[in-house]
Amino acid sequence: MARIINKDTTVCMSLSARPGNFGTRFHNYLYEQLDLNYLYKAFTTNNLKDAIYGIKALAIRGCAISMPYKEACIEFIDELDDSVKSIQSVNTIVNTDHHLKAYNTDYIAVAKLIEENHIDNNTPFVLKGSGGMANAVIGAFYDAGFKNGIIAARNQTKGEALAKRYGYAWVKNEQDIAPEQAKLIINVTPIGMLGGAEANDLAFPQSMIENADIVFDVVALPVETPMIKLAKSLNKIIISGADVAVIQALEQFVLYTGVTPSKELVKQAGDFARQG
Residues 209 and 190: beta-carbon distance below 8 Å: no
**139 C-beta neighbours (distance < 10 Å), count:** 25
Cα–Cα nearest to 128, from 71, 66, 183, 172: 172
Phi, psi at 242, each rounded to 5° = -65, -35
Cα–Cα nearest to 153, from 174, 180, 139, 181: 174
Residues 197 and 169: beta-carbon distance below 8 Å: no
Strands 125-128 and 149-152: parallel
**Distance separating alpha carbons of residues 258 and 262, to the nearest angstrom:** 13
Mapped onto helix, strand or coil, the DSSP state of residue 244 is: helix
Q: Which amino acid is at 104?
A: N
CA distance to 29, 195, 242, per residue, from 222 (Å): 20, 9, 8
Burial 61-93 (b: 16+ CB within 10 A, else e): bbbbbbeebbeebbebbeebbebbebbebbbbb
**Distance separating alpha carbons of residues 144 and 183, to the nearest angstrom:** 17
70 is catalytic: yes
Residue of 7, 41, 49, 70 with catalytic role: 70
Catalytic positions are: 70
